[in-house]
């Protein structure tokens, strides 16, 4: 296997791509982010990385609340649009036609059309460089009935999830196996 050494860069993939909502003075905003990840199982936490130059950065810093909205592939255009304009001069709910819906634990709204919505409170802000890392404690998860399986768990296949790699959006398709399958297949 011939390897080529490339310059240091953000080479991890596939990563999630989500729409993060905030609110201040009754004015909700949306930002599309891919530099996000789960960081702790218990207490459940995720992180989002946001550039200080963005409108959302100020909202997050001041309100210390946000919602991570996971879109299905049917919302690709709306998600892309929310990554291309600034909330400083654009009402992104009006721009996209998406629906703001009350959350259960935070003031920031859910995006109703996103099948999974994760309500978070900012626990810590870590300055890294071009991005600041916001660690969010997960307070509640709201899910469309339509994407739950018979045991009441989220069925990823019903969401038609989207991943980000390179500078493109990719469909998440076939289930390849469950965690632990190698052990079971050895029996």
d(CA 81, CA 74): 13
Q: How far is the CB of 58 from a copy of itself (least distance, A)?
A: 19
Phi, psi of 44 (to 5 degrees): -65, 125
Subset of residues 9 to 38 that bind a copy of itself, contact rule: CB under 8 A:
9-16, 18, 34-38
Q: What are the tokens at 151?
A: 């045991």
Single residue of 89, 94, 150, 182 touching a copy of itself by CB under 8 A: 182
d(CA 129, CA 102): 33
Three-state secondary structure call for residue 76: helix
Subset of residues 138 to 177 that bind a copy of itself, contact rule: CB under 8 A:
138-145, 148, 152-156, 159, 161-177
Candidates 19-27, 52-60, 86-94, 120-128 — which segment interacts with a copy of itself by CB under 8 A? 120-128
Burial class (CB in 10 A: 0-12, 13-18, 19+), 176: exposed
Binding of a copy of itself by 52 (CB under 8 A): no
Single residue of 29, 47, 54, 56 touching a copy of itself by CB under 8 A: 47
Burial class (CB in 10 A: 0-12, 13-18, 19+), 148: middle
Closer by beta carbon to a copy of itself, 112 or else 122? 112
Binding of a copy of itself by 87 (CB under 8 A): no
Q: How far is the CB of 15 from a copy of itself (least distance, A)?
A: 6
Subset of residues 56 to 85 that bind a copy of itself, contact rule: CB under 8 A:
68, 70, 73, 76-78, 80-81, 83-84
> Maximum distance among all alpha carbons in the chain?
60
């Amino acid at each position: 296997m011939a390897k080529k050494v490339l310059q240091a860069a953000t080479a991890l993939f596939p990563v999630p791509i989500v729409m993060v909502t905030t609110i201040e003075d009754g004015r909700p905003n949306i930002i599309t982010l891919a530099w996000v990840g789960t960081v702790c199982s218990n207490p459940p936490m995720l992180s989002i990385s946001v550039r200080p130059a963005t409108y959302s950065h100020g909202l997050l810093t001041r309100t210390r609340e946000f919602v991570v909205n996971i879109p299905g592939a049917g919302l690709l255009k709306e998600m892309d649009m929310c990554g291309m304009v600034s909330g400083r001069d654009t009402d992104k709910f009006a721009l996209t036609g998406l629906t703001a819906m009350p959350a259960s634990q935070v003031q920031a709204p859910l995006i109703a059309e996103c099948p999974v919505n994760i309500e978070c409170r900012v626990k810590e802000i870590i300055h890294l460089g071009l991005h600041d890392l916001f660690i969010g404690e997960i307070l509640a998860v709201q899910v469309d009935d339509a994407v739950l399986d018979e045991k009441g768990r989220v069925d990823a296949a019903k969401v038609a999830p989207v991943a980000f790699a390179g500078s493109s959006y990719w469909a998440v398709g076939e289930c390849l196996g469950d965690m632990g399958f190698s052990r079971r297949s050895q029996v």
